[in-house]
Amino acid sequence: MKIDPALKDLDALFPANFTEDQKAQAKTLFLKNLSLEAHRFYGGKMQTVPRCGVYGLNWFNVWYTPGVSKISTTIRDDNDASFSLSGRGNLVAVVSDSTRVLGDGDCTPPGGMGVMEGKAMLMKYLGGVDATALCVDSRGPDGKNDPDKLIGFVKMVQHSFGAINLEDISQPNCFKVLDELRDACDIPVWHDDAQGTACITLAGLLNALKLAGKKLPEVKIVLLGAGAANTTIARLILADGGDPARMIVFDSKGSLHTGREDIKNDKRNYRKWEICEKTNPGRAASEAEALKGADVLIALSKPGPDTVKRGWISSMADKAVVFACANPVPEIWPYAAKEAGAFIVATGRGDFPNQVNNSVCFPGILKGALLVRAKKITDGMAIRCAHSIADFSEKRGITADSIIATMEETDVFAVEAADVAQQAIKEGVARLQLSWEEVYNQAKADIAAARALVEDMKKLRYIKEPPAEILEAALVKAVEAVKK
């Protein structure tokens, strides 16, 4: 079977007699199988190319010694000059200890490279941002991961980058790492699993509620999972007008409330304790109880497909909104949630309608922060980005199966970059004062250049098309596995 390398219609690849559940399983297996072989074929996803030209032998004396001495002394006398005289101004470090890689848990330090390179690739292609993957061994002598080692590492390398993107750090370490580095560093430190996921989830929620005819301050929201992502989602929703009395959050031990002494007594869980103090005044005992009459379910918990039960969805309010965003398998398949009565269903995957994935967020918000040389990314900037994405999506049209922009909509990244940059200027955390148009035009030009570079390399066959046998073998393995 000839498979289109663009992979535009995955459902059409599988046998017509496959059930919806079998198709969903087969897609997951196919993408995993193909990922392994494609990574092996390309030897990873990223490489380094020069930004400048070599026009003759003496240009090496310009780019390196003796000419480069002038760059060293200029930056010595004004460290901020490093943003314009080196690649630092458009360079992000994607830093992880690989202790919570997607839904796979601790994958050892090098085990996170696939994800970190993926982040770097998305930043370049979608946001025109250069990035490099740095997987760090933060284990102490006892074999446990030490957040202070990760904090110390980032403090040491920050002078080579314009921003730091933290990724796949297990909780509760992730809270301490982010909060300490946000204060200690003079460049943006952004935890994409937490802040990025919260930003895009808020964007999707705003538009889903518009379609449902409901308002954020009036809806009952249940969050399943209390890791870095959902605790930050809860914080941003509340900061943007959500009612804490109508919010209930669950971790693996039950709902969060002021009676949770296990959380209160562990100082590392201060972010979860903040939620305990603010939400769930009725102390709901179970997910089933909490979801009765709820307007919204946001699940970032245990991969499914049966983590969320159909009966829970059926008991929710009319025009219920369900975000089942566990990776790589959502807590409930979208078709099952719809059959149970959900009005809008979103997942973190691009092969289902309504992908709520931070890939629509982080390239733009980081680009905006970099262009005005922001010193940090505040919650206000994240909320502004969420509204930027929601507003952009609404203007182009939203439906129950298309609540927010996708990665294919190039302009959304330049728009959110410009909006975020203006928020940074408003909050006084930007080094440069640029207009909305200046940021938008520069971001758009950089994104176009990044995409053109990839397309030119494909045309010149410096990037080769994956062999057909790789795609076919991945499909055959997936179909056979599901049939068994």
Domain ranges of the chain: 78-187, 192-434
- CB contact set of 62 (below 8 Å; sequence gap of 6+): 68
Considering only CA atoms, which of 239, 205, 210 is closest in space to residue 222?
205
Q: Which CATH class is domain 192-434?
A: alpha beta
pTM of the model: 0.93
Q: Looking at residues 57-61, what average pLDDT do you find?
A: 96
Average pLDDT of 292-298?
Answer: 98
Q: Supply the DSSP symbol for 293.
A: T
Give percent above pLDDT 90 in the chain: 88
Task: Enter the tokens of residue 354.
Answer: 């309504």
Under the banding of pLDDT at 50, 70 and 90, the label for residue 402 is very high
Q: What is the pLDDT of residues 265-275, one digit of tens each?
A: 998 899 999 99
Burial zone of 244 (CB within 10 Å; 0-12 exposed, 13-18 middle, 19+ buried): middle
Amino acid at 345: V
Hey, do 78-187 and 192-434 end up sharing a CATH topology, with the first three levels equal?
yes
Q: Which long-range contacts (CB under 8 A, 24 or more apart) does 323-326 make?
A: 323/201, 323/204, 323/205, 323/296, 323/297, 323/298, 323/299, 323/347, 323/356, 324/297, 324/299, 325/197, 325/201, 325/229, 325/298, 325/299, 325/300, 325/356, 326/103, 326/225, 326/299, 326/300, 326/301, 326/302
Which residue bears the tokens 């997607």? 102
Calculate the dihedral angle through the C-alpha atoms of 84, 87, 91, 93, rounding to the nearest 10 degrees: -120
The 10s digit of each residue's pLDDT in 300-350 is 998 888 999 999 999 999 999 999 999 888 999 999 999 999 999 999 988
Q: List pLDDT tens digits, range 271-290.
A: 999 999 999 998 987 999 99
In CATH terms, is domain 78-187 a member of 3.30.300.130? Answer: no
- In this structure, of 69-73, 185-189, 246-250, 324-328, the range with the lowest mean pLDDT score is 324-328
Instruction: Inform me whether the pLDDT recorded for 1 exceeds 70.
Output: no
Q: Is there a contact between 331 and 340 (Cβ–Cβ < 8 Å)?
A: no
- By annotation, the residues acting in catalysis are 64, 119
What does the pLDDT average to over 97-119? Answer: 93
Which H helix or E strand runs over 258? none
